[in-house]
Amino acid sequence: MMETIGLYNYWVVVVLMMTGFYIVVARDNLIKKVIGLNIFQTSVFLLFISAGKVDGGSAPILAEGIEIYSNPLPGVLILTAIVVGVATTAVALGLIVRINEAYGTIEEPEIHLEDVEA
């Protein structure tokens, strides 16, 4: 029981991941989908980072008298992943702006209707 609660970071990850995934799938507004994608990606970031924390370890900066450090590598990886996420969001938003110009709407059903009618 205590172990399950001790793994609370992973539970947060799971909740966020499913929330994000649900938003991507269930919401028709293009921007909301992007938001869902962001939440999904954030959950992955948390997965990596929280896994890097070592029990009793301090921040991974060399200092006198400190024996145990947390793992710095996940942090590095996630920095990269955050940048990737930002770039993805930027491209997605750019696309949405252009879609809005072309279709006049950013709701998926309406876009679909426009294409079917065309």
Partner 1 sequence: MIDNHLPILQVLIPLVAAVMCLLLRNRLIVTTLAIVVTWVTFAVSAALMSAVLRQGVISYELGGWAPPWGIEYRVDVLNAFVLVLVSGIGAVVATWSPSSISIELPRYERHYLFYCAYLLCLAGLLGITVTGDMFNVFVFLEISALSSYVLISLGQDRRALTAAYSYLVMGTLGATFILIGIGLLYIMTGTLNMADLAERLPEVLDTRTVIVAFGFLVVGVSLKMALFPLHLWLPNAYAYAPSAVTAFLAATATKVSVYLLLRFFFTVFGYEFAFDRMQLWIFLMPLALVGIVTASLVAIFQNNIKRMLAYSSVAQIGYMVLGISFASVNGLTGGIVHLFNHGLMKCALFLALGCIVYRCGAVHIDEMRGLGRTMPWTMAAFVGGGLSLIGVPMTVGFVSKWYLVVAALEQGLWPVAAVVLFSSLLAVVYIWRVVEVAYFEAPSAVEGEGTVREAPLSMLIPVWALVVAIFYFGITTELTAGIARQAAESLLKVAS
12 or 99, CB closer to partner 1? 99
5 or 116, CB closer to partner 1? 116
Our finding on whether 80 is near partner 1 (CB under 8 A) is yes
**Residue 33 CB coordination number (10 Å):** 19
6-25 residues in contact with partner 1 (CB under 8 A) are 21, 24
Which residue from 15, 26, 66, 91 is in contact with partner 1, where contact means CB under 8 A? 91
Distance of CA 53 to the CA centre of its chain: 19
Our finding on whether 92 is near partner 1 (CB under 8 A) is yes
Our finding on whether 33 is near partner 1 (CB under 8 A) is yes
From residue 100, how far is each of 1, 34, 94, 104 by CA, in Å? 51, 15, 10, 5
**Residue 62 CB coordination number (10 Å):** 6
